[in-house]
Structure 1
């Protein structure tokens, strides 16, 4: 299937009439009205396109899928971006995103990149797309990437943007709200253009602070006077989201190659979900023509999405829990806004709901829209206790070591199949290496961890896991801490301005 000779435009979910090429939308990150950029049309594929992916490498599959959305990039530009992102030894497996049979399910492993989390699938590519976009558009200003992270995005973004010319990056993470391994990954980050700062609050405090900074006109004008413009590496940036669509197509192609499914056979995906970007990428794949039956949204005790997908009411006014699956400890799922737009194509409604969420902490989309959403989505959640039990059970039955986020997804996948009797082939999306959460995993496997240091725990887990300790984690033993900044949510602007005024950045 040939790509249509058109340039796909992007506009805001909230009504701003401005239309941008993908390169400019990626540089901008967030629309001027606070909305998220979405494509003005949905590319379509057929089974011939999908079957044609079987014989291709992951990089070649990415070029095919990305080319449908990033129509202002040349084929040569995309090929260069993809090669720099995924080749050259950056991933520890030739498949990049391998599909493994575990019992009657398949597990899509998205954590074979340099930081051992699924964020690498997008955040190795986004810096290449953005750097190319800066050249294409003739942008002279420096770009400052602001990131709020619940654990994995921060390190993946830092590693991806490290020493990229004309770009600097600042990451905010919740103090005490990430695993020790995740924290060490960030605090030891090298690079002359990076900054890591802890926020004395939870992830939503950090994310709300970043959004506030993006929306502060005076602050942005003060940065502009220094020749700096803000952008984002969170999944609110289209350049972060679009690479994630690729691995849904890749997984389907691999299942076809293995003979697990037949061409055209619809399958289910269960996705551990926090900011709603990973599962939304699956929705885009389905809209494009990938045979997806159901997308199952798996949450931990911060189950705001479960409640929304069951009731149509999004209510962030609830207790916040720190769990053993910290990358999902989120109460404001930003990418849900994109789903609401695509389901309604009504920007005024979306803008109104987002205003209600900001001002009242909740909104209700009504029973008619909820029924439409439920045609594709199903949702449930899993407690820490059940997550630990799932890790132990999967290991006992299949000798497969799942991290807590993957276990949340596995547990919810089982709940879905038991509740519905659905017999479609199930793919559990695995978003992090178990080594990143070695303490929680070993606790679940009955190994004493109290008072044991992180690196001894890595060795303990290695004895129970067929996969070796990833090099990026093993090397932390010898790395020095380089970042020690801490700020309150209310002083994040001051921290950003200090970093923006610093001289140590690649030109």
Structure 2
């Protein structure tokens, strides 16, 4: 039987996987969720003998079951190729008693590559399957990493255009340079005067503009999304948790069926939701540890059952997590509300109107899989320094949030379950913050002097993604206010 996807806000909406990928966001503003989560149909022993690409097929065939074997394998093989600097795609590195799952070996050195290298192929295949003749316009808000990974994935992909909005003063210098130097005749990058939540809200508003949709259709265009709200982004993220477990088994670090913990530095909630889906597919995950930075809206939610974005927005050294509206949490809310679109829609309406909502005690009881905590800027910096001094291993600022929260979890619980920490970005992406944490004497150096110094310290070669932007010219310099986002989209599309 085919696996259909429903909207979290309207029970009557039911689409195939390829239709959900094409649309990105449901017309009612809801997110697409699978009607049920299928169980893995290969044993852990079988999976432990497979390559990343083979594991990807075994996971994704279950979630995207209207793709043929040939279509899906074609997408997978085009995505996970020499763009990654290691054949294993997502290596596990053991340091200080935990296993760091390095998700930054793709072309933009952040975990977003893991899904955004395959999304363009899933999208183009979905368009063909559904006889779409329109050109697809990818519209995306980014807190730093999604933007570049999406731009790299869609650059010069026939039949697509991509428009990325980012907070002009809310990303790292390297992140910004990666985006504004992006080549490709179909790529557009716009900085906004505002924060990530402003960019994300603006994009959602454009998606919901029915009049614009009509004009776009007449001009031969239709919107889709590369944000983690797109199920085509979420499904590939499930893969690397299954793969990590298969590697641990292959390396003799765990026995088949032995439970592990997973720690995820969390902003928009997509990455940890993928781990939750992996658990529901049968992966033996004991605790899903949700790590927040000083924008601790998720920590407060897991502690109190109240989601409240009415607070000061803090710019931190882990900017990809500087988020107060965690869009993907809606998929979890829908689930713990008993898959009730009505209950979920009511809570989301409350979030829109008052900036907060509170879940019931019954819903709260269903969050026992999760543990939430947060780390301060000082704790993150101390963790980077400590891990480097103790082991020689250098992590980025987001991974440091996860490592800090994991340390708190261990102290609180005494839990000695083997633990995988999602390492979501290369330290080279946040060189200044990382080097300052190790020793503030480096602060006098320029960004690219710091890159070379980090290479000496970590004994890790400077990634090609960084070499490429040393001298690259700025190709995108548009900046606008939030209320002019839609006007810029119309200008780009000549409509």
TM norm structure 2: 0.98
Gapped regions of structure 1 (runs ≥ 5): 1-5, 503-507
2:262 corresponds, among 260, 265, 269, to: 269
Q: Secondary structure at the match of 1:348?
A: helix
Structure 1 CA distance, aligned partners of 2:494 and 2:183? 19
> How much has 1:451 moved relative to structure 2?
4.6
Which residue does 1:391 correspond to in 2? 384
Correspondence list, 1:52-67, <5 A:
52-67=46-61
Q: Assess if the C-alpha contact under 8 Å between 1:249 and 1:285 holds in 2.
A: yes
Q: CA RMSD in A?
A: 1.0
Correspondence list, 1:33-432, <5 A:
33-45=28-40, 48-87=42-81, 89-344=82-337, 345-373=339-367, 375-432=368-425
Correspondence list, 1:465-480, <5 A:
465-480=458-473
Which is further off, 106-115 or 466-475? 466-475
Structure 1 CA distance, aligned partners of 2:190 and 2:478? 5
> Alpha carbons of 1:72 and 1:36: their partners in 2 closer, same or farther (altered >3 Å)?
same
Which residue does 1:18 correspond to in 2? 13
Structure 1 CA distance, aligned partners of 2:185 and 2:357? 43
> How much has 1:225 moved relative to structure 2?
1.7
Q: Secondary structure at the match of 1:243?
A: helix
Structure 2 CA distance, aligned partners of 1:293 and 1:160? 34
Residues paired across the two proteins, number: 494
Correspondence list, 1:435-446, <5 A:
435-446=428-439
> How much has 1:45 moved relative to structure 2?
2.3
Structure 1 CA distance, aligned partners of 2:86 and 2:292? 28
Which residue does 1:3 correspond to in 2? none
> How much has 1:469 moved relative to structure 2?
0.9
> How much has 1:468 moved relative to structure 2?
1.0
Which is further off, 17-26 or 73-82? 17-26
Q: Assess if the C-alpha contact under 8 Å between 1:144 and 1:500 holds in 2.
A: no
Structure 1 CA distance, aligned partners of 2:233 and 2:21? 8
Q: Assess if the C-alpha contact under 8 Å between 2:144 and 2:320 holds in 1.
A: yes
Q: Secondary structure at the match of 2:365?
A: helix
Q: Secondary structure at the match of 2:164?
A: strand
Gapped regions of structure 2 (runs ≥ 5): none
Structure 2 CA distance, aligned partners of 1:273 and 1:59? 26
> How much has 1:449 moved relative to structure 2?
3.9
Q: Deviations over 1:169-219 (max 9, x none)?
A: 000000110000000000000000010000100000000000111111112
Q: Assess if the C-alpha contact under 8 Å between 2:51 and 2:88 holds in 1.
A: yes
> How much has 1:447 moved relative to structure 2?
4.2
Q: Assess if the C-alpha contact under 8 Å between 1:100 and 1:106 holds in 2.
A: yes
Structure 1 CA distance, aligned partners of 2:77 and 2:375? 38
Structure 2 CA distance, aligned partners of 1:472 and 1:65? 29
Structure 2 CA distance, aligned partners of 1:320 and 1:50? 43
